Amino acid sequence: MASTKQTASTELPNGPGAAALLAAGIGCATMGVFTLLAEASKGINTLFSFYAPTGALSGVSTLAIVVWLVAWFALHRAWAVREVAMARVSIAAFVLLLIGFALTFPPFMELLLGK
């Protein structure tokens, strides 16, 4: 993802912001991908039903949150004191955000699943 020189200036490095941004994109995309998986397979749908009254939504959202937080933690550790190529990180985050929107949109999901 570009990056990576260690910052020596007194100004805050952009790394922590970039880590939070990219992790948010990853969280949104994960929400979309897990929604698609739960829709595509009855087995995965059942597997994602962590809390029966809420159904697969409980597992989809819980796992998306876990992936988001783990990604944030890992990226933050890697970029905490670094300057990263923010333009590229932004583009990646927006693509992931769009994936999140697209894969939670039922007509698009149905198109992908050939329903």
Partner 1 sequence: MEITWRDLMTVLHGMGFGALFMLAFTGAIIELYRMAVPGLPAIPNPRNQTLFRFYLIAMVVLAWLSVFSGAYVIYPWYRAAAPAGLTDLAAYPRNLLLSSPTTSGWHRLGMEWKEHVAWIAPIAMTMVAYVYAKYGPSLAKYRHLHRAVFYFTLAAFVATGIAGAFGAFLNKYAPIRGGETIQLMKGK
**Where along the sequence are the contacts to partner 1 (CB under 8 A)?**
11-12, 14, 16-18, 20-21, 23-24, 27-28, 31-32, 35, 51, 53-55, 57-58, 60-61, 64-65, 68, 86-87, 89-90, 93-94, 97, 100-101, 104-107
Q: Which residues are within 8 A (CB) of 101 and not within 5 positions of it... i.e. 6 or more apart?
A: 28, 32
* Least distance (Å) between residue 43 CB and partner 1: 19
Q: Between 3 and 58, whose beta carbon lies closer to partner 1?
A: 58
Helix 56-79 to helix 15-40 angle, to the nearest 10 degrees?
160
User: What is the distance in angstroms between the CA of the first residue and the CA of the last residue of the chain?
Assistant: 36
Q: Between 17 and 40, whose beta carbon lies closer to partner 1?
A: 17
Contact at 8 Å (CB) between 85 and 21?
no
Amino acid at 81: V
* Least distance (Å) between residue 97 CB and partner 1: 6
Q: Between 6 and 9, whose beta carbon lies closer to partner 1?
A: 9
